[in-house]
Amino acid sequence: MILFPNAKINLGLHVVRKRPDGYHDIETLFYPVPELCDILELVHADRFEMHCHNAEISGENLCEKAWRLMAERFGIPPVAIHLYKKIPMGAGLGGGSADAAFTLTGLNDLFGLQLPKVELAGLAAQLGSDCAFFVYNRPMLATGRGEVLTPVDFTLDRPLRIFPQPVFVSTREAYAGIPPHAPEHRIESVLKLPVERWDGLLVNDFETTVFARHPELQVAKQALYDDGAAYAAMSGSGSALFAIY
């Protein structure tokens, strides 16, 4: 079985408050980008194997965690997983979360478990805050840690380009020193406006901390506007930028 886990971008991202469990409540709109994908293959095997190509991944991969979760919960047999990375890592594009979610949905199909999406999304949320989004893989307003999802009737009808940057930004680094606050403008309201009016209203709070540590990213974002972008922003916790024309 061959699958194509896709990237996402964040249209607006507010860090609303810090939670007692140490996580943060956020508000963002996850938007799928099917044009940028990893390649994931699941194959029946006598013992579990994980092979990652085109990227160095230390420790247990999220795909492996997804298989172990399904094996413990439903007793599925071993598989060999081959993952070819094309979505940049540490870029805020959700590649690792997509790989994990597609592993869950792929195993569900491969072994005929017939689990509904809502149950798969619950399992995915155990693997990462934005994993559940990729089970549904449609525009979603995300709150809580990113796992509370509400479908949004929104389609981006403008050309979109993603610009990976040669900078790795960890989520921990992005959150460091960020001041949580209530959003000044609601994301759903801003998205109803013409794209040309989004700048300054559709805000990614992570840009404050990430740009302070990597000022070259702010320079690159301004260059996108200078090149004619109607709107440009960093995706997620960075470092990839995207532009809408």
Backbone conformation region of residue 196, classed left if phi is above 0, alpha if psi is from -120 to 50, else beta: alpha
β-sheet with 2-3: strand ranges across: 2-3, 39-44, 79-84, 49-53
Q: How far is CA 125 from CA 111, 133, 139, 197, 222, in A?
A: 21, 9, 17, 34, 35
Backbone conformation region of residue 54, classed left if phi is above 0, alpha if psi is from -120 to 50, else beta: left
Q: Rounded CA gap, 71 and 103, in Å?
A: 12
Active site residue 85: no
Task: Please tell me which residue in 38, 85, 99, 130 is annotated as part of the active site.
Answer: 130
Contacts of 66 (CB under 8 A, 6+ apart): 100, 101, 103, 104, 107, 124, 127
Contact assessment for residue 4 and residue 98, using Cβ atoms and an 8 Å cutoff: no
Contact assessment for residue 109 and residue 23, using Cβ atoms and an 8 Å cutoff: no
Task: Please tell me which residue in 8, 85, 205, 221 is annotated as part of the active site.
Answer: 8
Active site residue 25: no
Report the catalytic residues: 8, 130
